[in-house]
Structure 1
Amino acid sequence: MSLAGEDLINIRRDLHKIPELALKENKTHEYLKKAINDFPQEFLEVKEFPELPTALFVHINGSNPKRTIGYRADMDALPVTETNDLYYRSVHPGVMHACGHDLHMTVALGLISYFAENQPTDNLMFFFQPAEESESGGKQAYDLGLFSGKYKPDEFYGLHDNADLGTGIIGCRNGTLFAGTTEVNVTIHGMSGHAAYPHKANDAVVIAANFIEQVQTIISRSIDPVKCGVITFGKLEAGTIRNVIAGKARIEGTVRGLNQQMIEYIRQRIVDVAKGLEVSFNCTIDVEFNQGGYYPVENNPELTKNFIDYMSNAKDVKFQETEPAMTGEDFGYLLSKFPGTMFWLGVASPGALHSVDFLPHEEAIIDGVNAIEGFLKYRMSM
């Protein structure tokens, strides 16, 4: 029997209790494998790779395949301490499924359970992905060559839950759904000295203040106002004591843009600002960027049109076209390699994504399974 709504809720709660950080999803991996092994095995093949040991691939043989349709579900949790008073709250101190990946995995299991009993026309490939929140698990899998042979998708789909959408609503848009993100680390090398003799030092705090102020004008004065970009510096470290001028400062932040060209332009402008300040203050400024796999999530036009056409016309699906979001997702890297679509599943949580009180409405799980199951059958008929 395919998993019913109560089964799916219990699975989600089991997974919620055992959150694990990026590349450490060992218990989660074993739980998923056991659940899949309990399904009918006639059409299934489960694949593990020692190069990425917590990842799990599931191939379902189609009866008359024209293509292989991929579906991604991320597995990792966040270093967040849960405050929800639940019997199934996290049992791992300081770690929580605060982004809903437990729900993502549960929806994927619901789909596998259905197609294990009802052979699909096309081949289906499910990728349970580690390390979405950090370490770029999607990019790692691609770079390791894991998407090959029967595990190479012709098109790829994946969802992300949305705390602000009503329970069970499918949200999507053509074009960019999520921004791309790049970490930026800046190290300023001045010269320390006595607070009473500033002329004999080169104050890294003053340089850092100028750097932050000038970089913040990039968005307001170097970018078309109708286009989007974000620069946020969330961490600044400098100095050791109040009466010693700091000779070194480190700034850490993030750059976000709705397309890769925007991200690259912002990065170049940051480098330009640093070079100017090096001359102005006679200092050295090292700027490092790390994007990893967190590319903009740019939905394929044709496939996304098919997806939206189905979801907006299906009798039992609640669909809403959504605006682009500045959140990041490493599914963007996979969509830069394979055509596909990412979409939202509304969960109407009172707490925001990544918050200590994130609490999705579990009724969304069966809504998500039914909507995606219907779409996959529709897509396989084309």
Structure 2
Amino acid sequence: MLTSEQLIKIRRDLHQIPELALHEYQTQKYLLQVIGNFNQKYIETRTCSELPTVILVRVSGKKPQKTIGYRADIDGLPVQEQTGLPFASHNQGQMHACGHDIHMTVALGILDYFCEHQPQDNLLFFFQPAEESESGAKKAYEAGIFTGKWRPDEFFALHDTPDLPTGTIGCRLGTLFAGTTEINIDLYGKDGHAAYPQQANDMVVAAAALIEQIQTIISRSIDPIAGGVITIGKVRAGTVRNAIAGHAHLEGTIRGLTQKMIEKIDQRLREITQGIAHSYNAKVDLQLNQGGYWPVENDPQITNEFINYMKENPQINYQEMQPAMTGEDFGYLLAQIPGTMFWLGVDDDAQLHSATFNPHEEAIEVGIKAVVGFLKSHM
């Protein structure tokens, strides 16, 4: 069994080699080395040509009634680390600023336990690339890697958070993370001289009208109790003050707590952009890209069992959570396979995706024990 010192070393080793989406080759090599040192009696490990940095590890159960999946994301972020830690990232401009090094280490600790203590049910550990971008969960599912004995009946995953005390488990029934959709809009009119607006078609004016109307979608088309977000974060038009811009480009994001809500927002956005096109005699090109970043909607029955276990265990500090508007591609998997995602507190002043994010490593062992205990009770 991995000791506390070994777990911390693993986490720090991983922290030094963050890699971006779909390029996690060094990370995969390190994980395979660690897994290769575990008891191999009950496990089978495979990689996938369809998604080269994936790792799947299957643990055979004693008397399996189902296969329980556990996901750990393995990619880093394009962030230049500024922690000053002796084990800071060796890769320029790349960092585990979202704590995926913690996620991987917890998963390895859970796997190590069940390599030594054969579980009742089968377990499937999914070390997933490209969570931060490229929708790795969706790519893996669509590549067909979860078939036959490699398909879980349920899926679990955690995400660390600096907003909870170290080792605290946070969860909720319903949506934990919002789904997200990227918005790209191009408006095409006609360039012209500022002194002769009648001879041009001004896309700055059209874009301004569009932005104003977009802000009515949440306030007038979405249930205020349900909530949602549309942000236009980037606007580009024109080249000089005394010329009318014939083209404007907008970029933004949609956040919604259910897939139905996101689809409704998408539809209203399509209708409004079509209206602007007619009103301003413009061509409007709207591109909506959700990829695999669906809402993380926890399964009611499984999640209720998970929450009850955490609440009733005196060694676990459990906290009920509110939904977060951050995105996570584990939501795509939960739309195909029922399961639960939860938070693991790592208590830090810096936020996720920050260059100074430094999670408390004491959370690793707490997370391992909590998940191992729950899985044993759940089999």
3-state SS in 2 of match to 1:336: helix
Residue in 2 that maps onto 1:326: 325
Q: Letter of the aligned partner of 2:55 in structure 1?
A: L
* Structure-2 separation of matches of 1:122 and 1:102: 27
Q: Which residue of 2 aligns with 1:10?
A: 9
Q: Distance in 2 between matches of 1:249 and 1:72?
A: 41
Q: Secondary structure at the match of 1:184?
A: strand
Kindly state the Cα deviation for residue 336 of structure 1 after the two structures are TM-superposed: 0.6
Residue identity opposite 1:44 in structure 2: I
Cα distance in 2 for residues equivalent to 1:216 and 1:92: 40
Encode CA deviations 1:89-119: one digit per residue, 9 max, x unaligned: 1111111111111110000000111111111
Deviation at 1:131, TM superposition (A): 0.5
C-alpha distance in structure 2 between counterparts of 1:208 and 1:343, whole Å: 40
Partner Cα distance (1:40, 1:102) in 2: 22
Which of 239-248 and 114-123 deviates more? 239-248
The code of the aligned residue for 1:353 comes to: L
The one-letter amino acid paired with 2:75 is D
What does residue 97 of structure 2 align with? 98
Where structure 1 has 5 or more consecutive residues not aligned to the other structure, the ranges are none
1:298 matched residue in structure 2: 297
1:355 counterpart letter in structure 2: S
Q: Which residue identity is paired with 1:140?
A: K
1:243 Cα deviation (Å)?
A: 2.6
* 1:203-222 alignment runs, 5 A limit: 203-222=202-221
By how many angstroms is 1:164 displaced? 0.5
Q: Displacement of 1:309 after TM fit?
A: 0.9
List aligned pairs for 1:126-145, cutoff 5 A. 126-145=125-144
User: Displacement of 1:240 after TM fit?
Assistant: 2.2
The range that moved more, 335-344 or 270-279, is: 270-279
Q: RMSD of aligned C-alpha atoms?
A: 0.9
Alpha-carbon shift at residue 195 of structure 1 (Å):
2.1
Could you tell me which amino acid in structure 2 is paired with residue 55 of structure 1? V
Alignment-mate amino acid for residue 69 of structure 1: I
Q: How far apart, CA to CA, are the structure 1 residues paired with 2:93 and 2:194? A: 41
> What is the Cα deviation at residue 348 of structure 1?
0.9
Deviations along 1:155-189, one digit per CA (max 9) or x if unpaired, are 11000011111110000011111111111111100
Distance, in Å, in 1 between the alignment partners of 2:297 and 2:260 is 12
d(CA) in 1 for partners of 2:43, 2:265 = 46
Say whether 1:176 aligns with 2:140: no
Measure, in 2, the Cα distance between the counterparts of 1:321 and 1:150: 34
Q: Secondary structure of 2:65's partner? A: coil
Whole-angstrom CA distance in 1 between matches of 2:190 and 2:166: 56
In 2: Cα distance, 1:192 partner to 1:4 partner: 67
> 1 CA distance for matches of 2:240 and 2:95?
36
CA distance in 2, matches of 1:197, 1:358: 53
Aligned equivalent of 1:317: 316
Aligned-partner SS, 1:210: helix
Q: Distance in 2 between matches of 1:349 and 1:140?
A: 32
Which residue type is aligned with residue 19 of structure 1?
A: P
Q: Could you say which residue in structure 1 is the equivalent of 2:222?
A: 223
- Cα separation, 1, equivalents of 2:78 and 2:103: 18
* TM superposition outliers: structure 1 runs of 4+ over 3 Å: none
1:264 pairs with 2:263: yes
TM-score when scaled to structure 2?
0.98
Number of residue-to-residue matches in the alignment: 379
Q: Secondary structure at the match of 2:224?
A: coil
Identity %: 60
Q: Report the alpha carbon displacement of residue 223 of structure 1 after superposing the two structures with TM.
A: 1.9
